[in-house]
Each structure stands twice: as C-alpha cells, then as structure tokens.
Amino acid sequence: MISFAQQWYLLFLVLVVPLLILVMKMKSLNIEDIFSKEVRERVFVKSGTFLNYKRRLALLVLALAFMVVALARPVILDENVTKEDIEGFNLIVLIDVSKSMSVKDLFPSRLEYAKAFVSKVLQEFPEANVAVLAFSQDAFLVTPFSKDAKSIEFLVEHLNPEYLTTQGSLIVSALRATQKLKDAQDAEILLLSDGADGLIQESLDFIEEKNLRVHVLNIGTSKGDVIYNKDTELIKDKEGNIVISKRDDAVLALAKQSGGAYLSVSNVSVDTQKFLDSIKKVSKKIKMKHDKLEGAKELFIYPLIVSFVLVFFSFNVPRFFFIFLLLFTCKDVQAGLFDFYHLKKANESYKAKEYEQAAKEFSKLQNKEALYNEANALYKQKEFQKAQKIYEGLKFEDKTKEMQRLHNLGNSYVQTKEYEKAIKSYEEALKQKYDEDTKFNLELLKKQNKDKKDKNNSQKQKNKEEKKNNQKQENKSDQAASDKKEEKQMSESEAQKWEKLMQNKELKTQPLIMEKNRNSDVQNNW
C-alpha cells in the first residue's frame, strides 16, 4: 500500500499543474525578455540544438512537480502495522529533587541514580506514554505525556535542582499535580524518592480519595550520609549538628495501600527488573495508535532522481550530464543517497538476530551511528576484536551515546580477557553518564581482579617460602657433604678423639616445621 508521510506538501501541486498548462499553451516564448545574454550563454544551449526554450521550461516545471512528490515522502506501508493498534499505558514519573537526594550513599548520588533509573524505565517500557514531574515542596512539570524517549531522557538528564527555590519532600504536592495532567486518568504513578518530610497520612488520604496506584522506588541507605550545599559546606540543623539524611521507609506505605509495587534500593547492584515487571503487569492497558510509518519502505529517492534528470536535460546538457555522472558514480555520494535503504535492511536483520547480514548492511553506511551499530552486530557474532577496532575509532559528542560506546567497548575487552582495559573503559563510561549496568560490571570486575591479585600474591609468598626452605635444605645437604668429605680426611687419632667426646654428649632432636599456624588470632601460649 503506497501512502505519503507528508501529504500536505502535495498541495503545492495545485500551483505546479496550472503553471505547466500555461507553459504548454504559450504560442511564443521570448527567452531574451526573461534572461540576460550572459545567463543564456552560461546556462542554456543554443536554440534548436537539443530542445527549444518552451520545452525546456516545461521540463523544469515537471522537475519541480517531482520534487514536490519527493518532499511528500511516498512510502510503501507495512499492512500488518497499519491494521493493528498497540496496547500501551500511561505512566507518570515523580522525581524527588530535594537536597537530600544529593546525598552520595549511592554512587554517584541518589538523584543521579534516579535519573539513570528513568532511562531504564524508558527502555523497558517503549509502549508507555510517559510524563515526568519533579518535586520538592512544590511540583514542577518536566515533560507532559510523550512517547519521545530521547527527548524525555535529555530533559531528565539535565534536570538541575539548584534552580529550585523550595526544599524538602512534599509528596502530596506532586500527587496533586498529577491530576492536572491531560490523560492522567488510570495512569500508573512511579515515585522515585528517599522519603518524605512527614505528612504521609495526607498523601495516603489523597491516594484513597482519587483512587490512585503508586509504585515506590525508595532510594538511599538506612545508615545515610551527610548533605552538602552548593558551596560544598555541610548542612547543619538549628542546634548546629551535622544533618545525616537516612532513607525513610515510611514512604513505602503509599505503595502498600494503593496496591503498587515497591522496592528499597541501598546499592547500585540491586536488581530492579522484578519491580519493573510488577508495574507492567498491573498497569491498565489502553489502545494507542501505532506509527503507521514503522517498517515502511521509503520511495522519495525515485521522484528525486527523475527531477534531477529533468533538470539536467533542461539546461546545458554536456555540462550538467557530467555532474550527473559524478553524482551516481561517486561511492561516497551513492552511500549518502541510499543510506535509508541500507539502514532499513540493517535494522530489520538486527531485529531478526541475523547479525552477520546486519553487519554487512551497516558497513555500507559511512556515519558514526552506522559504524556503532556495525560494531554491535559484530559483537553479537562474537567477533570481539573486530568490534573493538570500530568502537575504539569512534567518539560521540552526545554523553549518552559515548557512555554506551565505552560500555560496549568494556564488554568486548572482558570477552577477550583484557580486564585492565575493560575497567578503564567502564570508568570512562561512568564519567560520561551514570549507568546502573556499567557500575555493576565495574564493581564486579574490580572485585574479581582484586581476588586474583590476592591469590597471586599468596601463591608468590608460598613459592618464596618454599624456595627459602629448599635453599636451607640445600645448604644443609652441602654442609653434610662437606662434613663427610672432611670426615674421610680425618686422621685415625682425630676420629678416636671425636668418638670419646660424643660418648660424653647428650643427644637432642631438632623437629622440622611441616605446617605453620594460620590462625593469627590465637593469643594463648598453653
């Protein structure tokens, strides 16, 4: 089924068609009245050589018509996509941006962990229509309901609580704000916070009144940590005591009463997948219009080529035909013109897990995104060294993309057992942007590396002791051999002298240590 992605461009054809009819009906056309002599010599061929001016002008009008068609983006739609609407759900994310969220008892801070978790939510729920609110004492709209995951992620990433004039965590304020959003009915509410400044009962009453379901991710440790202000000074209470912000588990009552999912996160290695699965399971599904262009085959290139051909024939043919040949014989330009085709084929192959074919299609594209995707496809084929070379040759300005590149590079180093390089890649990735999986991989790798070093050091110490003991044994053997040699050289009188001396000497046994005490905590000597 052929359709147009930008149908309103076709309205311009209303102007093009009458213009073409006007040109064709003109009995005479004095080109000298329209163009100067210099322009005619540079652009047009001599009259009668190939086409007369009237026909060339008609070709230009036709070329314009095909350009309009190209702008309207003709596509062949996937009939399976157009017939079915998708099931999704509305999700409102509430992010606590109070001072306590800057506490660093989770790496790099509670707030940064919350931001990273929003990114994970967007990845796990591509079908969700997501809105984001930030709150302290007041609630602030970050983004209304949207399915544009990249835009939402960008806005959340750059959320800066320093610009807010109020502090504290008034959850009921955020809950009230959710009801002001369009399409908030039956929406799931996800609260990312470290607790509340009292007034929990007020929030519970509001949830019951509005029949809301709230899912709570409680962020922070029960031990807590200090809070710094923007001048890096410790925050103190009225009595001058340093404030320690601890996670408040009372906020979990919001989820328990409303039938939502809840989870307390005290470190970055906590598995949040079951928590997300629970949200998806209980969410109320609604019918959403599917993007009809998903999986569509773009056809704009064909009317565009026709328009170029018509333009070339309308002007100085020898000169422009040479440009035409350059355009379609230059490898780099061809890649640019047909990128859409190779990209579509590559993505289709990747989704179908045909990684070898996907890598081939991505290799035909010359931009960074395509090279990155090619490396991912090679990684899936277990071509880790080839993937590394591509990852190493790339660098993105966008922090999220650069973090993903470095994360994948670290993974490929792990596969080739280059652990030091992997650790460095993970550390560089976290400098770009915090990511839960990257942090987990880094901590796991550092622990394994430390255990390996401790084992090696222990083995080296053991080898050193064994070598030392062997050296002692060799020295004793050498001494014994030397004594034996001297013994042979003793005179008979000296032997009688030593025999008499040994008869008057009491014998003592010197024991050999076979196993040292490994428990250094034993202090008793009895």
* pLDDT tens, residue by residue, 87-98: 889 999 999 998
* pLDDT of 377 above 60: yes
pLDDT tens per residue, range 199-235: 789 999 999 999 999 999 999 998 988 888 765 678 8
Give yes or no for residue 519 having a pLDDT over 70.
no
Residue 114 clears pLDDT 90, i.e. is over it: yes
Statement: residue 513 has pLDDT above 50: no
Burial class (CB in 10 A: 0-12, 13-18, 19+), 412: buried
What is the spatial distance between Cα 345 and Cα 365, in angstroms, rounded to a whole number? 11
SS3 475: helix
Of the ranges 240-244, 261-265, 312-316, 449-453, which one carries the lowest mean pLDDT score? 312-316
Q: What is the mean pLDDT of the chain?
A: 76
Domain with CATH 1.25.40.10 in the chain: 349-448
CA distance 178 to 215: 14
Q: In 10 A of CB 278, how many CB atoms?
A: 16
Report the alpha-carbon distance of residue 269 to residue 253 in Å, rounded: 24
The pLDDT of residue 238: 81
Contacts for 448 with CB less than 8 Å, ≥ 6 apart: 419
pLDDT digits over 443-487, tens only? Answer: 888 888 777 766 666 666 666 666 666 665 555 555 555 554 444
DSSP symbol at 308: H
- Asked if residue 326 has pLDDT above 50, the reply is yes
- pLDDT score recorded for residue 254: 94
Mean pLDDT score, 101-125: 91
Q: Which residues contact 58 (CB under 8 A, 6 or more apart)?
A: 20, 23, 24
Mean pLDDT of 387-409: 88
Q: From CA 9, how far away is CA 18, in angstroms rounded?
A: 16
Token digits for 58?
């008609």
**Is residue 69 scored above 70 in pLDDT?**
yes
More confident: 188 or 337: 188
pLDDT at 334 over 80: no
For 128-187, the pLDDT digits (tens) are: 999 999 998 888 899 999 888 888 998 898 887 765 555 667 899 999 999 999 878 889
The pLDDT tens digits of the residues spanning 3-38 come to: 887 888 888 888 877 877 776 666 555 555 555 666
Mean pLDDT across 511-524: 36
pLDDT of residue 441: 86
Handedness of CA 140, 142, 147, 149 (dihedral sign): negative
What does the pLDDT read at residue 63?
A: 87
SS3 sequence of 138-171: CEEEEEEEECCHHHHHHHHHCCCHHHCCCCCCCH
Answer whether the bond into residue 144 is a cis peptide, omega within 30°. Answer: no
pTM: 0.51
* pLDDT score, position 462: 62
Which percentage of the chain shows pLDDT scores above 70?
Answer: 64
pLDDT at position 278: 95
- Of 157-161, 292-296, 498-502, which one has max mean pLDDT? 157-161
**Fold observed for domain 349-448:** 1.25.40
pLDDT at 198: 62
Which residue would you say has higher pLDDT here, 340 or 249?
A: 249
Q: Give the CATH class of 86-288.
A: alpha beta
Q: Identify whether the C-beta of residue 93 lies closer than 8 Å to the C-beta of residue 192.
A: yes
Instruction: Assess whether pLDDT exceeds 90 at residue 121.
Output: yes
How is 310-358 classified by DSSP, letter by letter? HHHHHS-HHHHHHHHHHHHH-HHHHHHHTHHHHHHHHHHHHHTT-HHHH
Ranges in the chain annotated CATH 3.40.50.410: 86-288
What DSSP element (H or E) covers 193? strand 188-193
Which pLDDT score is estimated for 57? Answer: 76
**Per-residue DSSP letters for 9-54?**
GGGGHHHHHHHHHHHHH-S---GGGTS-HHHHHHHSPPTTTS--HH
- Amino acid of residue 38: E
Angle between helices 368-380 and 399-415 (to 10 degrees): 30
Does the pLDDT at position 509 exceed 50?
no
Mean pLDDT over residues 281-290, rounded? 80
- Mind giving me the DSSP string for 485-517? HHHHT--HHHHHHHHHHHHTS-----PPP-S--
Q: Comparing 316 with 515, which gets the higher pLDDT?
A: 316
